[in-house]
Structure 1
Amino acid sequence: MSMLNRPATGAPVGETVTTVRDYEAAQKAVSTLISAEVPARDIAIVGQGVRTIERVTGRLGYAAAARSGAINGVLIGLLLSAILVIGNPDAPIQLFVGFVFIGVALGMILSLVTYAIVRRRRDFASVTQLAADHYDVTVMAASLAKARDALGVSARTKVVRPPADLTEPPRYGERIAPGTDPAAQTPAGHMIPPRPAAPGPQYGERVGQDAPTAPAEDAGDADAAEAEPRDDDTRP
């Protein structure tokens, strides 16, 4: 991404004209819009599902810190040598090389001191980048038609739902707002008939285990009837 980006101010970004997967495709879409004379101030790239990715590049140590400090120190030494040559063109080459070594030493010392301070919190090197799931190219309403023509995108049609009929009684399974009377919502002449009772078991049908058992009084009468002697048994 460009380093010239300004921080967002929370202003409206307009309506989406196209959606792409990567940032390069979004840049191409913006270039196409600008070529079609769409005002650059009306265009915005909005990243959706933005996340940061930190890639670990290696483990930090005193050796790695000294090596990176030496590389940076070479640049410091060259800068000091250039200042010396500009101030004294007749300076010997040994002095030039000496300033380079001084810069290397300074870079190593600074890098080692910095690593000694932060090594307890962070002992690895990494590179952080910003990524998004997809990018929306948006345009303000004043330039929306021109932007769609430039990208060959048709206008989105909005689906309008028909209004609900409030005079129709609620159907089975519909939720009724709490605190309301379902009978009051049912108009006159549309009374719901009562639900018929379930028929009892017929003769010869097997009743399940969950069927109600006979009352205790009936069971006592049956036991008394069995206890009475029969006339056939009392005859000699």
Structure 2
Amino acid sequence: MTASVSMPTGGVQVGSYDSYEQAQAAVDHLSDQKFAVENVTIIGSDLRMIEKVTGRLTLGRAVAAGAAAGAWWGLFVGLLLGIFSPDGSSWIGSVLAGLLIGLVFGAIFGGIGYAATQGRRDFTSTSKIVASRYDVMCQPAHAEEARAHLARFSLRG
């Protein structure tokens, strides 16, 4: 039986930062120093999902959002169909028809989608995944060189 020591994904740690922007700046510094950055990995640890509630979702807002999305799709389809129209007036007609049909169907489906939730999620939100720490990892063969560059980088600023 052979014993082996497993290496963490990405190699060994050469730096640790509180924000992704700081880790990215460190890797950018390595790149500026002509370091082989293809040996570097940024790993976020202790992940959290942050959901910011942006407002109340009502039937009217759901219908309006569905209508807007449907109008964009309808405009797209109308423009595609308009390419094959023989003259300008039928081109405008196909674009307007696509826009109107998309708007109506989008509004209908927006209302149906809202009704299907039965009040379980009556709010809108945005979400993102953030880490509490970002480690810059490097392949062991290049780790000492990376540490030396990053030490000078941290002294600089």
Report whether the alignment pairs 1:14 with 2:11. Answer: yes
Residues of 2 paired with 1:31 and 1:92: CA distance?
50
* Residue matched to 1:134: 133
> Which digits, 9 at most, give the CA deviation of each residue in 1:4-53, with x for residues without a partner?
xxxxxx95332222222211111111122233343344212122322111
Rounded Cα–Cα distance in structure 2 between residues aligned with 1:49 and 1:92 = 55
The 8 Å contact of residues 82 and 94 in structure 2, kept in 1 or not, is answered as no
| Aligned equivalents of 1:26, 1:76: Cα separation in 2 | 40
Structure 2 unmatched ranges of 5 or more = 1-6, 153-157
Residue in 2 that maps onto 1:74: 71
Q: Does 1:96 align with 2:57?
A: no
- Between 1 and 2, higher relative CO (CA 8 Å, sep ≥ 6) is seen in 2
When you count helix as a share of all residues, which structure comes out higher? 2
Decide which structure has the larger Cα Rg and report it.
1
- Greater fraction strand: 2
Following superposition, the deviation at residue 57 of structure 1 comes to 1.1
Instruction: Give the alignment partner of residue 64 of structure 1, picking from 61, 66, 73.
Output: 61
| SS of residue matched to 1:18 | strand
TM-align CA RMSD:
2.1
Q: State the match for 1:178 in structure 2.
A: none
Q: Is the CA contact (8 Å cut-off) linking 2:82 and 2:92 kept in structure 1? A: no
2:46–2:133: 8 Å Cα contact kept in structure 1?
Answer: yes
Q: Tell me which residue corresponds to 2:84.
A: 87
Q: 1:151 to 1:83 in 2, by over 3 A?
A: same
For residue 31 of structure 1, what is the aligned residue in structure 2? 28
Q: Is contact 2:85–2:91 with CA below 8 Å preserved after alignment?
A: no
TM-score of the two chains, using structure 1 as the length reference: 0.55
Task: State which drifts further: 115-124 or 141-150.
Answer: 115-124
Deviation at 1:95, TM superposition (A): 4.1
**Which consecutive segments of 4 or more residues in structure 1 shift more than 4 A?**
none
Structure 1 residues 143 and 105 mapped into 2: Cα distance closer, same or farther (>3 Å)? Answer: same
- CA distance, structure 2, for counterparts of residue 38 and residue 49 of structure 1: 28
Post-superposition offset of 1:81: 1.4
- In structure 1, C-alpha distance between the alignment counterparts of 2:130 and 2:62, rounded to whole Å: 29
Partner of 1:49: 46
Q: Map 1:1-236 onto structure 2 (within 5 A).
A: 12-90=9-87, 91=90, 93-152=92-151
Deviations 1:77-121 (A, max 9, x none): 211211221111411534432221111111111211222222443
| Alpha-carbon distance between aligned partners in 2 of 1:48 and 1:146, rounded to the nearest angstrom | 24
How far did residue 151 of structure 1 move?
1.6
Q: Name the count of aligned residue pairs.
A: 144
Q: TM-score, normalised by structure 2?
A: 0.80
